[in-house]
Amino acid sequence: MIIDFHTHAFPDKLAARAIAKLTYPSKIKPSFDGTVSGLLKSMDAAGIEKSVVLNIATKPSQTDNIIKWCTEIKSERIIPFASIHPENKKPGDLIKKISSEGLPGIKLHPMYQNFYLDDEEMFFIYEAIAKNNLILLLHTGFDIAYPADRKADIKRLRKVILKFPKLKIVAAHTGGWRMWDEVLRFLAGLDIWIETSMTLKYIEDKKIFLEILKKHPSDKIMFGTDTPWSSQLEEVKLMQGLRDISEDLKEKIFSGNAKKLLDLQ
C-alpha cells in the first residue's frame, strides 16, 4: 500500500481558476486538473491507495466552506485535512467542529496565511489542535512562490515542537523546503513527523536526504508528493529507486507510519 500524505485538490467549479492562480508564481506545470476525480486518476496511475488532501484558508471567510467541502469529499481513499485562518474569530470552536466532523487534521501555511510559526498569537490555536487530538500539518521551509521568506524556518519550528510536546506536527517537505541543511542540524531526531514531498526532485545533495532519514525516528517519516505540483507516479518511482534505504524503511515511509498516525486499520 502507498499513502500520499501531501496532495491538493479543489471543488470542481473552482479547480481551473485555483490551478491557474497557483501555477503563475511557481511556473510548475500541474500534473492533473486539480479536481478530486483527477486526483483519483493520478492515484490509480501511481498505485497509490489513499491520499491526504490538504486545504489552506487564505481568508477567514473561507474556513467554513473548506470544512464543509472536506466532509463532502471524505472517502475510503480521500482523507481531507481542513484549515482555519489565524484571524478567524473563535478558532477554538472551529477546531472543535473540525474534530466533530471526523476530519483528522488541519493544514496551516505561514506564507499564504501571513504568520510566523512561533508567533505567540498562534499558541492558542496550537493548544486547541492538540486538545482535540488533531494532526497539524505545517508548510515548513521556504516556498517556491516566496523564495526568501523565513516565516516557516527551522528554528521557529523547533521552538513550537519543544513548547507543545503533545501536538502531533507533520512538517512538510522533509522538514523544511530548501532548508535541508538546517533540518539535519536542528530538526532531525526530534519528536515530529516529516513527509517527503518536493524533496527528491529539488534537493541538490541526496546524501543530506539520506542523513536526515538515518537521524530521524524511522516511525516518523511518511511519503508525500504535493501533487498536482509534482507527478505522483514520478515521486513513487524516485522513492522506490532509492538503494540506500532498506525495504522495511520504505514500507514504513510509503504506508506503515501514515496508517498508524491516521489510525487506519
Q: Is residue 30 part of a domain?
A: yes
- Residue 211: CB partners within 8 Å, gap ≥ 6? 184, 188
* Res. 24: pLDDT tops 70: no
DSSP annotation string for 53-105: EE---SSGGGHHHHHHHHHHH--SSEEEEB---TT-SSHHHHHHHHHHTT--E
Measured in whole angstroms, the distance separating CA 25 from the mean position of its chain's CA atoms is 20
120-171 per-position pLDDT tens digit = 999 999 999 999 999 999 999 999 888 889 999 999 999 999 999 999 999 9
Q: Is residue 35 part of a domain?
A: yes
Residue type at position 7: T
- Strand, helix or coil at 211? helix
In this structure, what CATH number is given to the domain that contains residue 177? 3.20.20.140
Count of the separate structural domains present in the chain: 1
**pLDDT, average across residues 107-119:** 98
Q: Is residue 234 part of a domain?
A: yes
229-263 per-position pLDDT tens digit = 999 999 999 999 999 999 999 999 999 999 999 99
Whole-model pTM above 0.85?
Answer: yes
Mean pLDDT over the full length of the chain: 97
Rounded distance, CA 102 to CA 125, Å?
Answer: 18
The whole domain housing 28 covers 3-260
Q: Is residue 95 part of a domain?
A: yes
Q: Is residue 265 part of a domain?
A: no
pLDDT score of 147: 86
